[in-house]
Copies of this chain bind each other. A is one copy, B any other.
Amino acid sequence: MPEPSGVGRPRDVRRDAAIHEAALALLTEVGYDQLSIEAIAARAGVAKTTIYRRYRDKAALVAAAVEQRQGSAPPEPVAGGLRENLLAVVGWLAREIEEQEIGLLGALFAGMRGDARLADEMRRILRRDQAAMTDRLPGEELAPGAAELFAEVAPAVIVHRIVFAGERCDERFVRHLVDDILFPLLRKGIQS
């Protein structure tokens, strides 16, 4: 993509916003592979060329749209022990993924084939929140390496449930995930 070089008429940022908005809306409405540039352009009230000037293809557009979107912030550490904080963070994560990441996951799966660059981009985005997320856990109760373990297991199980089991991540599931999996794994002094 030819980056805007500063000379010439500057790009209209309202168009960027409109495109992102339309893309995200349609993404959640129809899913990734039913998503068409044509429809995004129409919804955004923008010419197709205006999109193609910015993004090489659908994958790049979705990546940008998702990156720019700001999800809600991870919850502040709460009073109480590790378990309470795990419940808070996992609950937040489950909602976050459930709400809008699904379309993104489709983009990732569908697009990473034949476009390693996109795959990397996606992974970068996905990792973005992880640091902030694991910071919320109280260090003193954690086993060594627990943060990595959390990032490895928690999103995996949540995504797996949503996509492969096709079930919601309700309160009960969050408690199950914390009590039966994460808490035993992460708390200090349990490693065999």
Supply 10 further A-B pairs (C-beta < 8 A) apart from A33-B110, A184-B184: A31-B112, A32-B109, A109-B109, A122-B164, A152-B157, A152-B181, A155-B160, A155-B164, A184-B192, A190-B192
Is A64's CB within 8 Å of the partner chain B? no
Q: Which residues of A (140-175) have their CB < 8 Å from a CB of B? A: 145, 149, 152-153, 155-157, 159-161, 163-166
Q: Which residues of B contact A181 (CB under 8 A)?
A: 149, 152-153, 185
Which 7 pairs show the lowest CB-CB distances between chains A and B?
A31-B113, A156-B160, A156-B156, A106-B109, A33-B110, A109-B109, A156-B157
Task: Check if A72 is an interface residue, CB within 8 A of chain B.
Answer: no
Q: Which residue on B lies nearest to A105, using beta carbons?
A: B109
Q: List 9 A-B contacts (CB under 8 A).
A: A30-B113, A123-B165, A145-B180, A149-B181, A152-B157, A152-B181, A153-B181, A160-B160, A190-B192
Contact surface of A with B, Cβ cutoff 8 Å = 30-34, 102-103, 105-106, 108-114, 119-120, 122-123, 126, 145, 149, 152-153, 155-157, 159-161, 163-166, 180-181, 183-185, 190-192
Chain B residue contacts of A164, Cβ below 8 A:
108, 122-123, 126, 155-156
Q: How far is the CB of A49 from chain B (nearest CB, A)?
A: 11
Known: A126-B164, A192-B184. A113 touches B109 (CB 8 A): no
- Cα distance, A184 to B163, chains bound together (Å): 26
* Shortest distance between the CB of A188 and any CB in chain B (Å): 13
Q: Write out the residue numbers on chain B whose beta carbons fall within 8 Å of the beta carbon of A152.
A: 157, 160-161, 181
Known interface pairs A126-B164, A163-B108, A190-B184; A34-B114 also in contact (CB < 8 Å): yes
